[in-house]
Structure 1
Amino acid sequence: MSGVASQSRHIGVHVDQSPERVYEYAADPANLPEWAPGLCDAVEREGDRWFADSGMGRIELTFAPANPFGVLDHDVRLPSGEVFHNPVRVVPHDNGSEIVFTLRRQDGMSDADFDRDTAAVRADLEALKRIVESPSGH
């Protein structure tokens, strides 16, 4: 780092379901292609590791262990070996919950690219909201 703190955006979406319900669905990597198509369109488990096909190529996904605190942090390892840590939380909010994704601006990223990434994350969280709130409840 050049001594300048990186910029973060906390993108939150309210979900009319309990934090436990949101966490249960979102914590299952097999569900990622349904609600996070911006990240991947297919996932597969190989032993205790998860891999996904994405617009960036084949990526490896490492998830926080199951926990009662709503922590859904995950690391994305690109084919280049570069790793991005993504903090995600499901927290109680009113009669439902809020899912919050912390997006970090990467070095050299333009305002337009940061805004584009923000919109993509928000779209993924809105898809998660629609799925978990749907009558079928997945």
Structure 2
Amino acid sequence: MLQARTLTVEIARPAEDIYNFLVDPANLASWTLVKNGRPHPAAGPNSWAYDGPRGTVIVHFTPANPYYVLDYRMQVGPQMIHAAHVRVIRNGAGAALTHTSVQQPLVSDDMFASEEEWMLSDLLVLKTLMERR
């Protein structure tokens, strides 16, 4: 079985605001390392291409839904490098954002641990960005 890790960040913003921001793939570049997002219909519906630190990254997103589910898969070339299950959960006047990553078969344990450190950093940037809006 592959490793899975869940990160949780509390954000002092209504869940609806957070979800509406995150469900738009154009906003990903404002809080992560990827840049220059653009739709990539050749990769399938709800797929976007971004310029990443190691070249073009294709991200496949779940479509907008009423459950605040934001799952995605990332690939570089033909290799799936990251898969995650994201939920925005109402928590009083704010929200809890959970991000569960599942290690992919060709990703080493060290690489997976490093990705999770980067993800936590990205989620803290997202928290700051959302709370300042």
Q: TM-score range by the shorter chain?
A: 0.7 to 0.9
Question: What is the TM-score with the length of structure 2 in the denominator?
Answer: 0.85
Report SS of the residue matched to 1:36. Answer: coil
Listed one character per residue, the Cα deviations across residues 64-94 of structure 1 (whole Å, up to 9, x for unaligned) are 1111111111121211x12243211111123
- Mind listing any 5+ residue stretches in structure 1 that lack a counterpart? none
Residue 13 of structure 2: aligned partner: 17
Residue 39 of structure 2: aligned partner: 45
Residue 108 of structure 2: aligned partner: 109
Question: What is the TM-score with the length of structure 1 in the denominator?
Answer: 0.82
User: How far does residue 46 in structure 1 lie from its aligned partner after superposition?
Assistant: 4.4
Listed one character per residue, the Cα deviations across residues 94-135 of structure 1 (whole Å, up to 9, x for unaligned) are 33101111122344623x43332211101111111111110x
Report SS of the residue matched to 2:116. Answer: helix
Counterpart Cα distance in 2 of 1:119 and 1:126: 11
CA RMSD of aligned residues (A): 1.8
Percent identity of paired positions between Structure 1 and Structure 2 = 27
Counterpart Cα distance in 2 of 1:28 and 1:91: 18
Counterpart Cα distance in 1 of 2:116 and 2:128: 18
Counterpart Cα distance in 1 of 2:125 and 2:65: 23
Listed one character per residue, the Cα deviations across residues 10-41 of structure 1 (whole Å, up to 9, x for unaligned) are 0110000111100011111111111122xx12
Structure 1 residue ranges (4+ consecutive) displaced by more than 6 angstroms after TM superposition? none
Structure with more of its chain in strand, by fraction: 2
Counterpart Cα distance in 2 of 1:114 and 1:94: 33
Match for residue 29 of structure 2 among 30, 33, 44 = 33
